[in-house]
Structure 1
Amino acid sequence: MNSALKLEKRVLKLIYLLCILLFTSLALLKKPFDTKALIMGVILCIIVGFSHYLIRRFYPDGDKFMLIFSSILAVVGIAVLYRIDPDFAIKQLIWSILGIVSYIAIVVAMPDLKSFAKYKKIYMIATLVFMPMALIYGLIFNVETYGAMNWVFIGPFGFQPSEFGKIALVLYLAASLMTYENKNVIKDDFKQLIEPAIIVMFSLICMVLQTDLGSTLIFFGISVTMLYIATSKKKYVFTCLGLSAIGAVAAYKVFGHVQRRVMIWLDPWKYASDEGYQIVQGLYAIASGGLFGVGLGNGYPDLIFARESDFIFAVICEEFGMIFAIGVMIIYFLLFYRGIRIAFLTNDRFSQLAAVGFSTMIACQTLVIVGGIFTVIPLTGITLPLISYGGSSMLTMFFALGILQKISEEY
């Protein structure tokens, strides 16, 4: 048995141990003993073990830690959601299973990713459809969710089109920028970059009009990173940063929602009883948790607004402590590292850019939401990848990870 497989099995055993400890503790919180929690923990162990076995057994050439790290985050998320509301956890478990199934299906059914580079127009059309979808829906039906028009509802079901738009945008930029050639002439560069620049600007404008600040930051981070990797020119990065600064000031002047977010960010304590209540309660929860946490079931997540989605990291900090929360951030970093490693190892330009885009997507989304909770940046209201409650986010994240896994099989 090689050392890599030994390490994988060792990490898997730790996941099983973490899963059983978490859900046994959850089962003991209720009187009488909550067998449903223990059953959920066993189901998660089986899903994690079986999915790893399938990837390792039938596709031994690719990255094996991508699925392991994402499984750790999903287990933590479902456990915390069960603590908040068992119904959330059950639904999240279903979404996680569907996500893992899609992850494996991509690896099994999809041919080499490089063969998908020719579908640039399809990715562009998908981007142009998904980006304004929530805005159009919100304007027609006059629907806002916490000040933003970023949801579309079909009957009792709702989804965020921007989550699927992220996937389409990354694939479009990868297909568009893969043909870039350094001409050392501004006019020639302009011709190569004008189309992707227009698509990115259209996407960002749609997000700003929807007052979806989180998605705006994520799309911008993805686009600038992929542009730099494709061109290796810092002047384009600084130009984008300058234009974004102008756009941010303009958005601040035009949209009252943006002004309120910045106002609360600058002094959340001044508005602690009103608009700053969510941030302040989150900071109280983080502070009360300290280094080691108050213990699972001993916190007060009910005092935190959007505890199952935007502020689930604050719940983790309170009940598990800052050391555990830092461990979660390390897992995100390792997930990002594995994705960037895949980009460095592949020789195909389209696959490389797609890997960079999806890895950046994970990193940006994590940093934006955690930065908002700790008031490093204004709160943006997005989900913590693989942990927060949400079907759209879970499916798109596993889809992106599945593509990364597929790319890793090709080098």
Structure 2
Amino acid sequence: MRDSKIRMLMPIFLLTFGLFFNIAIFQPVFDIGAMVMAGVMCVLIAYAHFVINKFFGNGDKFLVTFVSVLPVIGIAVLYRLNPSIAIKQVLWFIIGISAYISLVIVLPDLKRFMKFKYLYLVGTVVFMAMATFIGETRYGAKNWVDLGFISFQPSEFGKIFFVFYLASSLKDFKTLKSLIEPGIIVLVSIGFMVLQRDLGSAMIFAFIGIAMIFAATSKVKYLLASFGIGAVGAVLSYFIFPHIRRRVMIWRNPWEYAQNESYQIVQGLYAMASGGLFGSGLGHGAPQYIPVRESDYIFAVIVEELGMIFAFLILIIYFLMFYRNIRSALKATSTFTSLLAVGFSVMIAMQVIVIIGGVLNMIPLTGITLPLISYGGTSMLTVFFSLGIIQKISEEAAS
């Protein structure tokens, strides 16, 4: 058993030192800081694996591997772009992985939390509405709140309350009437995101709601009705809100606006095309031409310098993580915890689909982060919290 655990860690260690050594060796002077960063990452990952496997070995044994590999890739690329940002991201990684472990250790039976439905409802509405009234605009979306000592995206915390609310509200589904209240909350949440011009989050909230309603009811007619309502809402939003029409116009004709509105999209496409299958090599690309490269467009940097094959392997990891998460949902001991796992799984999966789809110009671009890879403390904490809950659900199912 011990040998198998070491075998699981060795590829992660090799990847970590390989990426950071590649960065260090191509500097004018060998970068010792890069190797120190690699050592710190390996210690943190080894500690997380030790705690989860030693004391909570009954649950999902692969999830902790996924939450180790993705941040390694993200922090290595961030270090290549801006070492100071990478150091900040390591601090967020420490906080996130600590929260992930703590949730598994500290939380009691998750079924105890199903009775706080209206607390989750209040939390959802407060965090969804917050940026609408006291937020500031960044990169075209009014989705940040700056309190002076800290700035954050309220919708990231709103996702947590949103999933908990829907799980506690839908666990006792009986008739169509029981869908009225959660349906209203879903529409209100999406409405606030549209008002804040945060179209990526609006799509994510919509798909979380649809997935959890279908998981709770198992009725195709409700699934089709949800998609129908969503389609009608999208069409109405297109005609009501000018910024949505602008996003669609840029998406359809990126080359026409390459020098202004779609500059980011076009530069990302150029970067990925120049990278090809195998990339130009970490540190040998030209990511300085890509706007918002540390967060929204880090996938384009990865493709340019590490290649499309490497990027495809990242997508496989995300797919495997989604598969393991849904597997935990199917094995959950209660409807409430099963719905939690579904909600958080879809939340992370849709975040990946929306941002990569936007970077590839397959859908209109929306400014959200690539989970566990892009720079962003709020996003990293939210994802680690979600995965910690799913790890806890897998532990309860196996015990």
Q: Which of the five TM-score ranges fits, normalised by the shorter chain?
A: over 0.9
Residue 138 (structure 2) pairs with residue 145 (structure 1): yes
Quick one: which amino acid aligns to residue 40 of structure 1? M
Contact 1:8–1:65 under 8 Å retained in 2: no
RMSD: 1.0
What secondary structure sits across from 2:382 in the alignment? helix
Q: 1:372 aligns with which of 347, 358, 374?
A: 358
Q: 2:191 aligns with which of 205, 208, 233?
A: 205
Q: Which has the larger displacement, 211-220 or 148-157?
A: 148-157
Residue of structure 2 equivalent to 1:171: 164
What secondary structure sits across from 1:117 in the alignment? helix
Q: Which has the larger displacement, 14-23 or 111-120?
A: 111-120
Task: State the alpha-carbon separation in 2 of the partners of residues 331 and 230 from structure 1.
Answer: 27
Task: State the alpha-carbon separation in 1 of the partners of residues 65 and 6 from structure 2.
Answer: 10
How far off is 1:10 after superposition? Answer: 2.1
Residue 21 (structure 2) pairs with residue 24 (structure 1): yes
Task: State the alpha-carbon separation in 2 of the partners of residues 100 and 335 from structure 1.
Answer: 16
Residue of structure 2 equivalent to 1:109: 106
CA deviation string 1:151-209 (max 9, x = no partner): 0001152100000111110011111100012xxxxxxx232111101111110110011
Residue of structure 2 equivalent to 1:186: none
What secondary structure sits across from 2:151 in the alignment? strand
TM alignment of 1:73-88, pairs within 5 A = 73-88=70-85
Contact 1:226–1:356 under 8 Å retained in 2: yes
Contact 1:150–1:212 under 8 Å retained in 2: yes
Residue of structure 2 equivalent to 1:281: 267
Contact 1:73–1:386 under 8 Å retained in 2: yes
Residue of structure 2 equivalent to 1:68: 65
Residue 35 (structure 2) pairs with residue 38 (structure 1): yes
Q: 2:345 aligns with which of 359, 364, 371?
A: 359
Residue of structure 2 equivalent to 1:184: none
Task: State the alpha-carbon separation in 2 of the partners of residues 159 and 106 from structure 1.
Answer: 22
Task: State the alpha-carbon separation in 2 of the partners of residues 255 and 275 from structure 1.
Answer: 17
How far off is 1:334 after superposition? Answer: 0.8
Q: 1:304 aligns with which of 272, 275, 290?
A: 290
Residue of structure 1 equivalent to 2:48: 51
Quick one: which amino acid aligns to residue 112 of structure 1? D
Structure 1 segments of 4+ aligned residues over 6 angstroms from their partners = none
Identity %: 56
Task: State the alpha-carbon separation in 2 of the partners of residues 107 and 144 from structure 1.
Answer: 36
What secondary structure sits across from 2:27 in the alignment? coil
Task: State the alpha-carbon separation in 2 of the partners of residues 11 and 61 from structure 1.
Answer: 17
TM-score with structure 1 setting the length:
0.95
What secondary structure sits across from 2:146 in the alignment? strand
> In 2 relative to 1, CA 258–86 (structure 1 residues): closer, same or farther, beyond 3 Å?
same
Q: 1:407 aligns with which of 393, 396, 399?
A: 393
Quick one: which amino acid aligns to residue 172 of structure 1? Y
TM-score with structure 2 setting the length:
0.98
How far off is 1:59 after superposition? Answer: 1.0
Task: State the alpha-carbon separation in 1 of the partners of residues 93 and 282 from structure 2.
Answer: 22
CA deviation string 1:287-341 (max 9, x = no partner): 1111100101110111001100110000000000000000000000111111000
How far off is 1:121 after superposition? Answer: 1.3
Contact 2:96–2:385 under 8 Å retained in 1: yes
Task: State the alpha-carbon separation in 2 of the partners of residues 200 and 282 from structure 1.
Answer: 33
Residue of structure 2 equivalent to 1:335: 321
> In 2 relative to 1, CA 154–29 (structure 1 residues): closer, same or farther, beyond 3 Å?
farther
Q: 2:152 aligns with which of 159, 165, 168?
A: 159
Which structure 1 segments of 5+ residues have no match? 182-188
Query: Number of residue pairs matched?
Result: 397
How far off is 1:8 after superposition? Answer: 4.1
